[in-house]
Structures are given as C-alpha cells and as structure tokens.
C-alpha cells in the first residue's frame, strides 16, 4: 500500500500547488483524511508549535508594515540601489537578501523589484540579470533569517537541539556565498541591453517608454523609523534567546527550568506587535488586512495540511522507507539534499519542506551539522516559474529580458537559482563540518 499512499500524497501536493493560496493546506488536509480513514494510518500530531511561531512572527511583520516601517525600508533600499547603478547585478541581490533576512519573509521583495528593474534599465544593464538573482537571493535568505518560518521549524527538529546562533553561523555565510556565486552567473546571462533584439523591437514599436526619473514619495515619519528599530530589537532578542539558553532559564521550587524556544519566539514577536500598535500607531485592522499577514496566514494553513499529511505518511510507512533510504543516504549523504530540493519544488514552501522531510533525515541518522548544511536546498521553488515573486519579476521587467523560455524550464531564474543553491549547500556543508 506504500505506493498507493505515495500517489495520493503527491496528487494532493500537485493539485494543491495548482490551486494556489490555501490550496496546499486544504489538499493536505484531504490527503490526511484519506490516509487515516481509507488506509487506516494513525494520524501524526499536527505541527502546532511551528504554526503558532509563524503566526506570531507574521503578526509582528504585519505590524511593521501597518506602521510604515516596510515603506521606510523600501526608501532605504532605493537609495542603496541608485548609488551604484552599474553594479546593480551584485548590489540588488544583497538588498533583497537583507530585506528577507530582516523581515523573515521573501514577499517583501515585491516592494523593490520595480525599483531594480527601472534602475537597471536606466543604467543600460540587462534587467534580467539583477531581477533573476534578486528573486533567488530573497529565497535563499529565508534559510538564514532567524525569524523565518523555515528556520523556526528547523530549530525544533534538529537532533541535539543546536543553538540558533550555531545554525545562523552556518547558514548566513553559506547563503551569502551562494548568492554571490549566483550573481556571477547572472551577470553573464544574455546579451547586453543595447544588443537585445526583444528590447530593441519594443523600443522601435513604442512599447517601452524612455526611462523616467524616480518619483519621490512622502518622507518617512518618526513612527515608521521607530517601528523598524522596535522590530530589529525583537529580531536581536530572538537570536540572543536562541543562542544563550541561560536567558530562558529560571529556578522554581529548587529546580531549574528552561523556557522552550517556541514559546520564547511567540512571546517576543507578539510583544513586538503589541508595542508597534501602542507606540507606533499600527492599526490592528490594517495589520490583519495587509499583504504580509495574508501571505503568512496562507503559509500557516499550508504547513498545517501538508506537514500533517507528510508526517502521517512517513510515520505509517517508516519501516518500509527507512531501511533502503538509510543505506542510500549513508553511502551518499548529499542525496538527501537532492530530496529536499525536489520536495520544495512540489511544496512551494521552505517551511513545509523542512517540516515534512527533516524528521526523516534525523531518523536516517544524519547529523545536525549535515542537515543544517543541506538546509538551503529547500529553496527549490524557482524551478517551475509560477511562484508569485518570479511572476512579479517577469511582469516588472518592461524590456522583456526576464522571461519564461519556449520549453518552460529554460527561464531566467534557472541558472542563478541552481548556482546559488549548489553554492549555498556546498558552503553550508563545509562550514557545518567545522562549526557544528
């Protein structure tokens, strides 16, 4: 029955990905129902801690958006991009990376993609180059952010429970290396803008206007600037609490007790959201209706359904799966990174991929260091070019250089994405060997 159940699981994932939005979560729930009631599988425990941590982080990020902090960050990013326009293929991905590292979600990249496209065009740089690697960098940074759903999920699943500081010490430099490698690859893609036939044809047909000077928006308020500081303090607090367990330790009745990291993250992030509402005027209705909160809620539901279904499937078939896979992974450990990459293509979520496969990696005997080094492999959802940030980048590029090829998979993001992922995993495994 293993193969029949596997077909049902994969069908739920494919249909859920096509539905989009809440589709992954609800189809995961349907798949779990079929596994339990049709095949008699024992339901696994739903990933409640992960869901609550993500909900708390998303609420804080929504408060930052509602108080104008996100707009202030976009203003800073625009200035940084226009300082070195000729080097935009290397500067833009670092800006996108910093945005995601700070906010914990790659969806903040939407705000800077049009800026990257226009600055590149004004500078005569093929927009495909900075746009493609910037989208990839925003994905890679998810696996380096201390408050991303994927990192939070990984923190609670690694054997031996290594500190958040150790995980970040591996993932941040590894993903930065990968993004740099991807930027080098992207800088060599396609013809220069002045020689690109698609762009020249659009210019001749009048389909592309002359580059316009950037319009200046209203200056950021003191509340918006304060909200960024408050959010940053919250992020630093999470890193410190994760790196130094003694900060979460107290004595009760003569016994030492340690507050779980999940609860610590939930407390800090909900407190940040509360302070943003009280001190920075973040409207709670605006928080709930913002794009960050909506995307976050969808992520929570997706993890709920998909991770629950995956856990139930693996738990019910562990005896049949573990033996052959353990021999294969023991002989070639890097194959688990390939499995993570393939699963992320199907799930469109780093956090859901972590929650679905990392427990299996632990059961197969992979060390915390190896799993941490392979963590960036969960950034595979650029492979099929229908993820929202990829589609947005294509639409923001009015020159037509960022595009999906005739054979679908030969799109603008493939080479930078593969280069960044391979580079990040390779660097991560080396760093983890020495650090963990």
pLDDT tens digits, 341-383: 988 876 767 887 888 788 888 888 888 999 999 999 999 888 8
Q: Looking at the predicted structure, is the pLDDT value of residue 207 above 70?
A: no
End-to-end CA distance of the chain: 39
The pLDDT-based confidence of 217 (bands split at 50, 70, 90) is low
Q: Are 218 and 225 in contact (CB under 8 A)?
A: no
Q: What's the average model confidence in pLDDT over 89-106?
A: 84
pLDDT at 432: 93
Q: How many helices (H) and strands (E) does the chain have?
A: 20, 2
Most confident stretch, 84-93, 111-120, 317-326, 414-423: 414-423
Nearest Cα neighbor of 101 from 56, 138, 152 is 138
Least confident of 19-33, 154-168, 399-413: 399-413
pLDDT at 395: 73
Q: Looking at the predicted structure, is the pLDDT value of residue 404 above 90?
A: no
The pLDDT-based confidence of 210 (bands split at 50, 70, 90) is low
pLDDT at 111: 63
Q: What's the average model confidence in pLDDT over 102-124?
A: 74
Nearest Cα neighbor of 66 from 299, 297, 298, 276 is 276
Say how far apart CA 152 and CA 130 lie, in whole Å.
29
Say how far apart CA 44 and CA 70 lie, in whole Å.
38
* φ, ψ at 174 (rounded to 5°): -65, -45
**pTM (global) more than 0.75:** no
Nearest Cα neighbor of 153 from 6, 299, 346, 27 is 299
Residue 44 tokens read as: 């696994």
How many CB atoms neighbour CB 105 within 10 A?
25
């Amino acid at each position: 029955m293993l193969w029949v159940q596997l077909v049902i699981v994969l069908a739920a994932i494919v249909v859920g990905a096509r539905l989009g939005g809440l589709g992954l979560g609800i189809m995961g729930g349907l798949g779990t129902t079929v596994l339990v009631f049709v095949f008699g599988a024992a339901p696994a425990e739903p990933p409640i801690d992960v869901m609550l941590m993500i909900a708390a982080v998303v609420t804080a990020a929504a408060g930052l958006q509602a108080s104008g902090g996100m707009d202030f960050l976009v203003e800073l990013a625009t200035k940084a991009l226009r300082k070195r326009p000729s080097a935009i293929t290397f500067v833009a991905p670092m800006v996108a990376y910093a945005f995601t590292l700070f906010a914990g979600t790659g969806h903040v990249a939407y705000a800077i993609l049009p800026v990257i496209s226009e600055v590149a065009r004004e500078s005569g740089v093929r927009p495909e180059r900075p746009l493609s690697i910037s989208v990839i960098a925003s994905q890679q940074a998810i696996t380096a952010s201390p408050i991303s759903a994927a990192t939070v999920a990984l923190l609670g699943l690694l054997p031996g429970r290594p500190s958040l500081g150790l995980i970040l010490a591996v993932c941040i430099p590894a993903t930065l290396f990968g993004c740099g490698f991807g930027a080098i690859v992207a800088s060599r893609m396609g013809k220069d803008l002045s020689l690109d036939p698609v762009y020249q044809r659009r210019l001749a047909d009048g389909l592309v206007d002359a580059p316009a000077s950037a319009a200046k928006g209203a200056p950021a308020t003191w509340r918006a600037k304060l909200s960024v500081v408050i959010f940053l303090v919250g992020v630093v607090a999470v890193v410190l609490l994760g790196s130094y367990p003694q900060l979460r330790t107290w004595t009760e009745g003569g016994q030492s007790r340690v507050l779980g990291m999940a609860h610590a993250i939930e407390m800090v992030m909900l407190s940040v959201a509360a302070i943003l509402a009280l001190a920075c005027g973040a409207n709670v209705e605006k928080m709930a209706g913002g794009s960050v909160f909506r995307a976050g809620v969808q992520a929570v539901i997706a993890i709920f359904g998909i991770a629950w279904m995956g856990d139930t499937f693996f738990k019910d078939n562990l005896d049949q799966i573990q033996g052959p896979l353990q021999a294969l992974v023991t002989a070639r450990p890097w194959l688990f990174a390939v499995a993570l990459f393939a699963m992320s293509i199907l799930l469109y979520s780093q956090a859901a991929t972590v929650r679905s496969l990392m427990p299996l990696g632990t059961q197969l005997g992979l060390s915390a260091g190896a799993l941490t080094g392979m963590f960036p492999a969960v950034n595979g959802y650029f492979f099929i070019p229908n993820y929202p940030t990829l589609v947005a980048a294509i639409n923001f590029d009015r020159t037509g250089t960022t595009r999906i090829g005739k054979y679908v998979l030969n799109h603008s993001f493939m080479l930078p994405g593969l280069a960044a992922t391979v580079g990040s995993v390779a660097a991560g495994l080396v760093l983890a060997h020495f650090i963990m």
